[in-house]
Structure 1
Amino acid sequence: MPSRRQFIQAVALAGAASRGGPSLSAGHSAVISPEMKSLSQYMTEASSQLLPREVIEQAKFHIIDTLAAMVSGSQLAPGVAALSYVKTRAGQGSLGLRTVIGSSMQASAIEAALVNGVMAHSDETDDSHNRSRTHPGCAVVPAALAAGQEFAIDGTQFLRAVTLGYDIGTRVVMAMGGPKFSYESHKSSHAIGGVFGAAAAAASTAQLSAQQMRWVLDYTCQQSSGIAVWRRDTDHIEKAFTFAGMPASNGVRSALLVQNGWTGVDDVFSGVDNFFDAYAPAADKTKLVEQLGQRFEITQTDIKKWTVGSPVQGPLDAMQNIMSKQAFSADQVKSVVVRLGPDAAAVVDNREIPDICLQYLAAVMLLDKTVSFKAAHDVARMKDPKILEARRKINLIKDDALTSFLPVRVAIVEVELSDGQRWVERVDAVRGTPRNPMTKAEVIDKCADLMQHVLGKQKTHQLIDTIFSIEQVSDLRSLGSMLRTGASR
């Protein structure tokens, strides 16, 4: 009479055979692929890895940029919704609770990661990674902050955990096909990249072994979700949850489960019913470890100059470049033609949300000669007669010829005046991208503008100074006092 274990093994073997997949051995021992061995070993060594100077600098840029997105996001509808949710689950200075940014509340690491993540993508302020089509910072930094406070890590470990998160989350999606996967699948590349990045960062703060890192990846696969229906979200709340809140909290959960002793599958990226078979059968696993430790994806991630959606960055740069060469008023403009690739154009074409509506933002640029954070979030202004008049001059063309440049989003803008004068500006490298990076001063100016109205000028500059000298922070929990406000909103 076969035992229950033998019966279950027999069923598993039969199921694998019926699918044409590899067999499971009697002892459930799995062959770990070279990619998984390299990946998990790299992940466990990341907490003690010395990073190149330029990587450290970029990590600081992205950390303060993401914290600024959280602080400013606490005032917007998604952030308000997140704070309302956590208010009934938060503590006031209780032990074991982590910082909820922009409030006096604290919550568990998992809940803090959720709320801070939603705030990080409350709008279009956070960074983006074109080769994977993800927004790494809004999931990775909240996860690293919450888990880092959980384990009382120092500032150097925090830098390394964040850097690792960018490396892992983006590579998983690049292995799946990158932008091609994102555009052709119903699944959300942003959520998938976010959850793997968040899990890697959180696991690094816990200093898990290589085997434990493999189990973290396993539980992360089980929690990987998100579909492209977020494009229909007009309030940005579901989008903030999908891109950031959910991935950040799920990533922290994966790390905490394994740190608490849970075990799992040794190689979820290979073998029967593996992650890539389920999500992207044409995936190239070698991209998981391509130039790992040599090419740091945090240095390949854009920081936005403009606090608007990524596809609008190029057109605004182009318009500003034209205006710097020739002064003219909005009244003198006959037409503005903007050319974008079809997929990028579809994201920003006459959207109801101001910070991702190209026509509205281009109209603001014509009238204001810039696009401020306030203007980018001014819903009421979308109905202003002057804006509506300027919008009628904006023509967005979905140009198939620009698709060939993806993942680079090339933008071409043509401005024609009523007297016949005409200028054409093409942007191949948006300001804030690796090919046209922002300076430290530009990053600081952007972040200070976003945070001062919430934290106050003194606390804002204290936080900025602290991040740029993060190696001197002995306990990440000390950041809490700089990120909280007096209100328990």
Structure 2
Amino acid sequence: MQVAQNPGLTGTLAEYATSTSVDALPGPIRELGKLIILDEFASARFGAGRPAGRLAARFVVSQAARAEARVLGTRYRSSAELSALANGTAGHADEIDGAHVVGGHPGATLVHAAAAVAQLRHRGGAELINAVVLGYDVGTRLIDACGGTFRLKDEFHLHADFLHAVGAAVACGRLIGLEPRRMANALALATFRANGLCALFREDNHVSKAFCNGQYASAGVGAALMAEAGLEGVADVIGERHGLLDAWGVEDGRERVVRGLGTEFGVNGANFKFLRAGYPIHAAVEAAMELVAAHGITPDAIRSVLVGMPGNAMRVVDGRTMHNICLQDMLGAALVRGGLSLTASPFPEIQTDPVFTRLRERITLRVDPGLERDQPDGRGAVVTIDLADGTTVDRRVDHPRGHSLRGRPTWPELGAKWREALSGVDTDSWISAAAALEQLDDVGTFAERFAESRH
């Protein structure tokens, strides 16, 4: 990629962003972008019926605003900024949306920010694909340049997803058609509007955690629109003294921001979920259910369960008060129910089941030395089950189903996921429309497929 002389890091990203187009994307990247867009739209439609999604929609609908973009899962429209708020929140309302190898949930922020602006400006599906791919490039690079999710959390107490607001601003700016200097302004303006202290993870429910993604989506939309209106920011908010990298960057952060730009795409690290649970839980549940199937294990036959994980992943899901990011809760439920359903949560009803109570108390987590060595920031798990007859069985899963290092899902696999999760909904029409997204003249017609008249 050719870069103008001394534009600063922000200028380099801004110039790159304004030069991108869907035609320049490799075919597999375009296809992956469409899979992500479908999954995130469907996640928001699903999450619109969950507490965080309902609360966000209720708030947005109560505000006086222009009807610019669909609030997914409802019959309402609101401003692009408020719709992004509601849809980003709904998208992450129940841990069914995609994740990423750098950590976090970029899709819930990036897709819904870009989709809101695409509806506002009547952009086509090809432009949306390009914007989403671009947003992933910027957001994931910034997190990597700051040392990753766990460094931002452990050293600075920051929820790394706030940097996806900057990626969202770039995606929205590309859809609006910002020139490079105003695109740089949008990046700077986004940093004023997004943050998140990791104390939010200690909440009892899954409202603030979801709301953050909505806030970051809204911040990206607002920053791009403000930049278009002429509001300014420092020219190099990433590389400037007291800028983003000065605050949080690692030693080689400057190189990480631009390394492989235009050839190495952030969407390649996108992970898809096939369980409604925090991503570090998936490999453990998969390994346990494989053992149950292979050995005919019943709940009464289990004496104890030991789950080995990388230390960073273990800290995310060990003994949490939010059921769907608590490994003990979700694995215990899976062992009792024979798996986890996409249609209904086992909580709180299962908490009165004495079989669940007994099993949950017998699940122990520890750092697995092999996984800690091989993938310290990974999502693998080793599950060892001790049985009442004195035998022990174990299974290691390095990468759960849907993980980018295991292989992206196919259209039929995503179709099966959403047919199970949203029975009675014409998900097949979603699949066909998403697969042909490049041919769509106006993203608004795609968004209308995810409306719901009963709200």
Relative to the length of structure 2, the TM-score reads 0.93
Q: Answer whether contact 2:383 2:396 (CA < 8 A) is retained.
A: yes
Task: Return the letter of the residue paired with 1:470.
Answer: L
SS of structure 2 residue aligned to 1:250:
helix
The answer to which of 165-174 and 272-281 deviates more is 272-281
Query: Could you tell me which residue of structure 2 aligns to residue 296 of structure 1?
Result: 265
Match of 1:61 in 2: 35
| Conservation of the 8 A alpha-carbon contact between 1:117 and 1:241 | yes
Instruction: Tell whether 2:452 aligns with 1:485.
Output: yes
User: Which of 390, 398, 403 is matched with 1:433 structurally?
Assistant: 403
Give yes or no for the alignment of 1:245 onto 2:219. no
Q: Which residue of 343, 364, 369 maps to 2:338?
A: 369
1:182 corresponds to 2:152: yes
2:168 aligns with 198
Aligned letter for 1:215? N
Q: Which moved more, 1:403-412 or 1:472-481?
A: 403-412
- In the TM superposition, residue 90 of structure 1 has moved relative to its aligned partner by 5.5
Match for residue 91 of structure 2?
Answer: 120
Verify the 8 A CA contact 1:354 1:382 in the aligned structure 2. no
List per-residue Cα deviations over 1:90-129 (Å, max 9, x = no partner): 66xx6x5210011111110110000111101112111111
Q: Deviations over 1:64-100 (max 9, x none)?
A: 1111211111111101111121121266xx6x52100
| Matches of 1:169 and 1:344, distance apart in 2 | 21
SS in 2 for 1:457: coil
Q: Distance in 1 between matches of 2:64 and 2:289?
A: 45
Matches within 5 A, 1:97-112: 97-112=68-83
Q: Which residue of 2 aligns with 1:170?
A: 140
CA distances 1:217-252 after superposition (whole Å, capped 9, x unpaired): 11112223111111111121111122x111000000
The structural deviation recorded for 1:483 is: 1.4
Q: What is the alpha-carbon distance in structure 2 between the residues aligned to residue 359 and residue 465 of structure 1?
A: 38
Distance in 2 of aligned mates of 1:315 and 1:178: 23
> Do 2:310 and 2:378's aligned partners in 1 also have CA atoms closer than 8 Å?
no
**Separation of aligned partners in 1, 2:304 and 2:22:** 56
How many Å apart are 1:49 and its aligned residue? 4.5
Aligned ranges 1:368-447 → 2 under 5 Å: 368-376=337-345, 378-399=347-368, 402-404=371-373, 405-437=375-407, 438-447=409-418
Per the alignment, residue 15 of structure 1 pairs with none
Question: Any residues of structure 2 matched to 1:333-352 within 5 Å, and which?
Answer: 333-352=302-321
Distance in 2 (CA, whole Å) between partners of 1:314 and 1:59 is 24
SS at match of 1:38: helix
Could you tell me how far apart the structure 1 residues matched to 2:351 and 2:37 are?
Answer: 32
Matches within 5 A, 1:14-163: 32-33=6-7, 35-47=9-21, 49-89=23-63, 96-131=67-102, 133-163=103-133
Which deviations, in whole Å up to 9, do the C-alpha atoms of 1:392-439 show, x marking residues without a partner?
Answer: 332222446643422213311001221122211111122111221233
Alignment partner of 1:448 out of 419, 434, 454: 419
Query: CA offsets per residue over residues 128-151 of structure 1, 9 Å max, x none?
Result: 1122x2211000011011011111
- The amino acid of 1:185's aligned partner reads E
1:280-302 Cα deviation digits (max 9, x unpaired): 47461111111111111112111
Letter in 1 for 2:75: S
Deviations 1:152-199 (A, max 9, x none): 100000111111111110101101111342342334343323212211
What CA distance in whole angstroms lies between the structure 2 residues aligned with 1:90 and 1:335?
55
TM-score computed with the length of structure 1 as normaliser? 0.87
Q: Partners in 2 of 1:357 and 1:224 — Cα distance?
A: 27
Q: Which residue of 2 aligns with 1:286?
A: 255
Deviations 1:19-44 (A, max 9, x none): xxxxxxxxxxxx94453343212111
CA separation of 1:470 and 1:248: change in aligned 2, threshold 3 A: same
| Partners of 1:361 and 1:376 within 8 A in 2 | no
Q: Distance in 1 between matches of 2:351 and 2:46?
A: 21
Q: Which amino acid aligns with 1:257?
A: M
Pick from 474, 479, 487 the counterpart of residue 441 of structure 2: 474
Letter in 1 for 2:51: A
Q: Secondary structure at the match of 2:259?
A: coil
Mapped partners of 2:215, 2:92: distance in 1 = 11
CA contact (8 A) 2:136 2:167 kept: yes
Q: Does 1:211 align with 2:181?
A: yes
Higher Cα Rg: structure 1 or 2? 1
Unaligned runs of 5+ in 2: none
Q: Which moved more, 1:48-57 or 1:311-320?
A: 48-57
> CA distance change for structure 1 residues 35 and 186 in 2, over 3 Å: closer, same or farther?
closer
**Is the contact made by 1:47 and 1:207 (CA closer than 8 Å) also made in structure 2?**
no
- Kindly provide the amino acid, as one letter, of the partner of residue 359 in structure 1: Q
**Letter of the structure 2 residue corresponding to residue 465 of structure 1:** S
Q: 1:457 — aligned with what?
A: 425
Match of 2:192 among 211, 222, 226: 222
| Equivalent-residue separation in structure 1 for 2:168 and 2:348 (angstroms) | 32
Which residue of 2 is the match for residue 25 of structure 1? none
1:390, distance to aligned residue in structure 2 (A): 2.1
Is 1:276 the equivalent of 2:245? yes
Quote the Cα distance in structure 1 between the aligned partners of 2:81 and 2:61.
Answer: 14
Cα RMSD (Å): 2.0
Change (3 A) 1:445 1:42: same
**2:294 is the counterpart of 1:320:** no
Distance 1:471 1:188, change over 3 A: same
Give secondary structure in 1 for the equivalent of 2:422.
helix
| Kept after mapping to 2: 8 A contact 1:311/1:409 | yes
Q: Deviations over 1:327-373 (max 9, x none)?
A: 22111122211112333222222223221121121122222222112
Judge conservation of contact 1:127–1:302 (CA < 8 Å) in 2: yes
| SS of residue paired to 1:373 | coil
